[in-house]
Amino acid sequence: MQLSMNWLADFTDVSDINIKDYCDRMTMTGSKVETYEVLAEDITGVVVGKILSVVPHANSDHLVICQVEIGAESPVQIVTGASNVFAGAVVPVATDGSNLPGGIKIKKGKLRGEVSCGMLCSIGELGLTTHDMPGAIEDGILILNDVGLADAPIGEDIRKVLMLSDTAVEFEITSNRPDCLSVIGLARETAVSFGKPLNIPEAPKPAVRNDGETIEKYLSVDINNPTLCTRYSARVVKNVKIAPSPLWLRMRLRASGVRPINNIVDITNYVMLEYGQPMHAFDYKCLDGSHIIVRNAAEGETFVSLDDQQHTLDAASLVIADEKKAVALAGVMGGLNSEITDETVTVVFESAMFHPGNVRVTAKKQGMRTESSARFEKGLDCENTMPALDRACELVALLNAGEVVDGTIDVYPEKKVPFTMPLDAEKINTFLGVNLTREYMADVFHSLDFAVSEDLCTLTVPTYRDDVRCMNDLAEEVLRIYGYNMIASTLSAAATPTVGARTERQNFDMHLRDMLCGMGLDEIETFSFISPSYYQKIRLAETDVRRKSVVISNPLGEDTSVMRTTMLPSMLKVLSDNTSVKNKNVALFEMGKVYLPTKEGELPEEPGRLSIGFVSEADKTGSGFYRMKGYLEAILYIAGITDVDYVSCDSEPTFHPGRCAKLYKGDKEIALFGEIHPAVAENYNFVTPVYVCELAMNTLFDVRRLMMDYKPLPKYPALERDFSFVCDEDTAVGTIAKEIKECGGKVVESAELFDIYRGAQIGEGKKSVSYAVMLRADDHTMTDEEADATVTKILDKLAAAHGITLRK
């Protein structure tokens, strides 16, 4: 809502208050000021002048030299290229040293040898349009004679003559206060905020033409759907003379951000701004018959709005219709078929009340939010239709725009009953933590137009304040006037002791995050929605279950249109973006969620996931795989998880079939990891191997070690034996470790791989694998003989079961 301070002055006087203080105080009492603009502040030194003579410029075929009277001792000479100047014309003159909008400075100068002491201005140069100044032309000097200002005093400041000086204050009105989307509403708030008197005139009584004709001769109205239209008031104006509105009205509209059109349309806008009640005016002669029906649209009914847009309506929409056609979309916009034109002679003014939700849905569906629908959808006051309608008619008379026909149509099936409620001062004080008297509160409510009972115990809420219904609402009214910041800070919220603690899972995640950082991985945050094409990019099969995503029905764009079912595309994208700007040693992790659809109409599952990814050096051996496995082993170590299985996996299309594995604890899959497939690498423009991992956090948490049980430190020394085995190239080294542990039994404390060697001495298709084995008994010092016996058992088993022998 953009408020003209000149207009506000009609109702309350705040001329003694500095505009900055005005805005601050209004904000602090609940009418938030976004910004304010002192209009025409940038126009200085522009005065009314009268052209005394116009002679051609000797050195130019398009310039003329004017002698202009500007109220100074002598006329000034001004050279202009405009062709519409003439002796006797009254014009705006930007004098030497003046300023114009856009930071333009006018200085005395010479044009082709002739002195020019300023500039004659066009409307554009004064920041105006032909809507603001009908009668003026765009490409020429503004001739004040053409706009009814021939008598403007010479030398007068143009801002005064054109009524340009005003201050426009932009309010951000919250949706609960549609009454403040009006000059009167804001005047009321202003008066309360500054303790100023408020002068709202009594209900306007427009002068009517007493020629015996009454509105019944012209019109009858029926409301078919009283739920969606709770009141319909109308008046008729005849012998209308469509013309521009007077300057003062145009300038008020302009200061309010509304474009002047013609007197009748301007009146509807003026009243809407002043009273907050949207009005509609339509051309009576365009009605088929004299019967107005407020009805639901027929399914599929078409309607062309004032802005020449074709709409197809559904049965939920409400229209204002004559007997044959819709003439307006209720509360949203009028129809082109009954638009006010220069030929209009009889006008129907409509001032009605429509259902907020219905207007909102219709406006949204038809894609036309208007000033009218924006007000209706917040819920307006039924009681306001008549004062607004009468004000419109009063303006008709004032502007001499036509003759108001006697009588009013007012269909109001169920008169609104004012809401009354108790004023419980004690409760309000306790709730807010303040100590105000009942009298103070009563004063606040009185100034807010509430009726207060004599005993100060009962309030009647104004009909335009449907937002006030319970004690909390009253508390807010009192508080915003008393001052939100007058409340003393207390902390009795701590009266009931509560323990502030993370859950075990929250702690688990937090510690893991810290550990991952400690391992040298940078944490990233990526969007939860991705493009469905990303599944293609990571080569998921068409039938892959992971392609089944939660789909956003109204996405911003394709690239954020589905909720991810895997974190890998996000990770790969970030790795790729970093690589493309030549960042080195990129190693990242993200802890987030994926969104897995469940049943139709139910919420998806949102399991936690951890993704890890890094860009590796170019390397044939796949060392990055073992680095990734190292991260996983570290995570398992932190979570206290042992006895896991790494199972080679060649069926994940995102991964290199020979360098991919799944990590299991029993039958629970914890993670999938490996080197990405060369085709995926190409999709993301990687030139060196990239390794990624996706880990199921919920599963990891489920299989974590629950109890931290202390195990005594060993009392007896261990024996360490190193072995180098020779086995076939395709023997998994894990097999050897597994056999050592199983065969050796509990005396095998550990078996650590320390070398894998391939070479001529070993032979083609063979490799040498070296283990350091620690043997220890927990109840005595192990002898060499005991150790030898265990070793022999292991070696026999390896030879017999796998053909693995000691390297000679």
Partner 1 sequence: MKDTLLKIKSEALAALSAENADIEALRIKYLGKKGELTAVLRGMGKLTPEERPIIGQLANDVRAEIEAEIEKMSSAAKTAALEAKLKAEKLDVTVPGSKIPVGKCHPLALVQRQLEEIFLGMGYSIAEGPEVEYDYYNFQALNIPKDHPARDTQDTFYITENILLRSQTSPVQARVMENTQPPIKIISPGRVYRSDAVDATHSPLFHQCEGLVVDKGITMGDLKGTLEMFAKTMFGEDTKIRFRPHHFPFTEPSAEVDVSCFACGGKGCRLCKGEGWIEILGAGMVHPNVLRMCNIDPEVYSGFAFGLGVERIVMLKYHIDDMRHLYENDIRFLHQF
Binders of partner 1 in range 503-562 (CB under 8 A): 503, 506, 510, 513-514, 516-529, 550-556, 560
Nearer to partner 1, 27 or 145 (CB): 27
Nearer to partner 1, 74 or 503 (CB): 503
Stretch that binds partner 1, among 74-82, 106-114, 168-176, 734-742 (CB under 8 A): 168-176
Among the listed residues 599, 530, 539, the one whose alpha carbon sits nearest the alpha carbon of residue 565: 530
Distance CA 208, CA 237 (A): 9
Nearer to partner 1, 124 or 597 (CB): 597
Interface residue with partner 1 among 81, 140, 604, 622 (CB under 8 A) is 604
Question: At closest approach, how far in Å is the CB of 38 from partner 1?
Answer: 17
DSSP state of 502: -
Question: At closest approach, how far in Å is the CB of 641 from partner 1?
Answer: 22
**Which positions from 697 through 736 interact with partner 1, judged by CB under 8 A?**
none
- CA–CA–CA angle 630, 636, 638 (5° rounding): 105
- CA–CA–CA angle 438, 439, 441 (5° rounding): 65
Asked whether 696 and 619 are in contact (CB, 8 A), the reply is no
Tokens of 351: 């001032």
Nearer to partner 1, 600 or 784 (CB): 600
Distance CA 467, CA 450 (A): 13
394 phi, psi to nearest 5 deg: -60, -40
Question: At closest approach, how far in Å is the CB of 540 from partner 1?
Answer: 21
**Which positions from 334 through 373 interact with partner 1, judged by CB under 8 A?**
356-358, 360-361
Distance CA 285, CA 94 (A): 47
Question: At closest approach, how far in Å is the CB of 428 from partner 1?
Answer: 10
Interface residue with partner 1 among 417, 581, 760, 800 (CB under 8 A) is 581
Distance CA 244, CA 136 (A): 12
Nearer to partner 1, 166 or 189 (CB): 189
Q: Does 315 bind partner 1 (CB under 8 A)?
A: no
**Which positions from 170 through 229 interact with partner 1, judged by CB under 8 A?**
174-177
Binding pattern for the stretch 371-400 against partner 1, x by CB under 8 A and - elsewhere: ------xx----------------------
Question: At closest approach, how far in Å is the CB of 362 from partner 1?
Answer: 10
Nearer to partner 1, 310 or 496 (CB): 496
Among the listed residues 357, 233, 224, 361, the one whose alpha carbon sits nearest the alpha carbon of residue 298: 224
Question: At closest approach, how far in Å is the CB of 405 from partner 1?
Answer: 36
Nearer to partner 1, 582 or 620 (CB): 582
Nearer to partner 1, 118 or 331 (CB): 331
Length of the chain: 808
- Could you tell me where the DSSP H helices lie in 345-489? 356-365, 371-376, 385-399, 425-432, 438-447, 471-482
Interface residue with partner 1 among 222, 307, 558, 577 (CB under 8 A) is 577
Nearer to partner 1, 340 or 568 (CB): 568
Question: At closest approach, how far in Å is the CB of 44 from partner 1?
Answer: 25
Stretch that binds partner 1, among 14-22, 249-257, 539-547, 581-589 (CB under 8 A): 581-589
- Reported for 775-778, long-range contacts at CB under 8 A and 24+ positions apart, including other chains, are 775/718, 775/719, 775/720, 775/721, 775/744, 775/747, 775/748, 775/749, 776/714, 776/716, 776/717, 776/718, 776/719, 776/747, 776/749, 777/716, 777/747, 778/714, 778/715, 778/716, 778/746
Q: Does 475 bind partner 1 (CB under 8 A)?
A: yes
Interface residue with partner 1 among 3, 479, 636, 680 (CB under 8 A) is 479
Question: At closest approach, how far in Å is the CB of 333 from partner 1?
Answer: 18
Question: At closest approach, how far in Å is the CB of 483 from partner 1?
Answer: 9
Strand segments, DSSP code E, in 160-251 are 166-172, 209-214, 220-223, 229-238
Q: Applying CB under 8 A, what is the total number of residues that bind partner 1?
A: 91
Nearer to partner 1, 110 or 599 (CB): 599
Distance CA 159, CA 94 (A): 12
DSSP3 helix / strand / coil % (the chain, rounded to 5): 30, 30, 40
Question: At closest approach, how far in Å is the CB of 30 from partner 1?
Answer: 4
**Which positions from 734 through 793 interact with partner 1, judged by CB under 8 A?**
none
**Which positions from 4 through 43 interact with partner 1, judged by CB under 8 A?**
27-30, 32
Rounded (10°) angle between helices 438-447 and 183-194: 150
DSSP state of 162: T
Nearer to partner 1, 580 or 761 (CB): 580
Q: What is the end-to-end Cα distance of the chain in Å, rounded?
A: 93
Question: At closest approach, how far in Å is the CB of 555 from partner 1?
Answer: 7
**Which positions from 454 through 473 interact with partner 1, judged by CB under 8 A?**
470-473
- CA–CA–CA angle 521, 522, 525 (5° rounding): 130
Question: At closest approach, how far in Å is the CB of 774 from partner 1?
Answer: 29
Question: At closest approach, how far in Å is the CB of 660 from partner 1?
Answer: 24
Distance CA 746, CA 720 (A): 15
Nearer to partner 1, 116 or 317 (CB): 317
**Which positions from 421 through 440 interact with partner 1, judged by CB under 8 A?**
430-434
Distance CA 423, CA 439 (A): 11
Distance CA 788, CA 801 (A): 20
Interface residue with partner 1 among 105, 502, 668, 793 (CB under 8 A) is 502
DSSP state of 305: B
Question: At closest approach, how far in Å is the CB of 433 from partner 1?
Answer: 3
Among the listed residues 609, 412, 604, the one whose alpha carbon sits nearest the alpha carbon of residue 526: 609
Please state, as a whole number, how many other Cβ atoms lie within 10 Å of the Cβ of residue 22.
Answer: 20
Binding pattern for the stretch 279-308 against partner 1, x by CB under 8 A and - elsewhere: ------------------------------
Stretch that binds partner 1, among 202-210, 478-486, 540-548, 776-784 (CB under 8 A): 478-486
Beta bridge partners of 655: 676
Among the listed residues 569, 793, 528, the one whose alpha carbon sits nearest the alpha carbon of residue 683: 569
Stretch that binds partner 1, among 123-131, 281-289, 394-402, 498-506 (CB under 8 A): 498-506
Number of helices followed by number of strands (H, E) in the chain: 20, 41
Nearer to partner 1, 35 or 783 (CB): 35
Q: Does 501 bind partner 1 (CB under 8 A)?
A: yes
Question: At closest approach, how far in Å is the CB of 12 from partner 1?
Answer: 20
Tokens of 103: 């930071």
Distance CA 172, CA 27 (A): 9
Nearer to partner 1, 272 or 392 (CB): 272
Question: At closest approach, how far in Å is the CB of 196 from partner 1?
Answer: 19
Nearer to partner 1, 177 or 254 (CB): 177
Nearer to partner 1, 58 or 486 (CB): 486
Q: What is the DSSP string of 765-805?
A: TEEEEEEEEEE--SSSPPPHHHHHHHHHHHHHHHHHHH--E
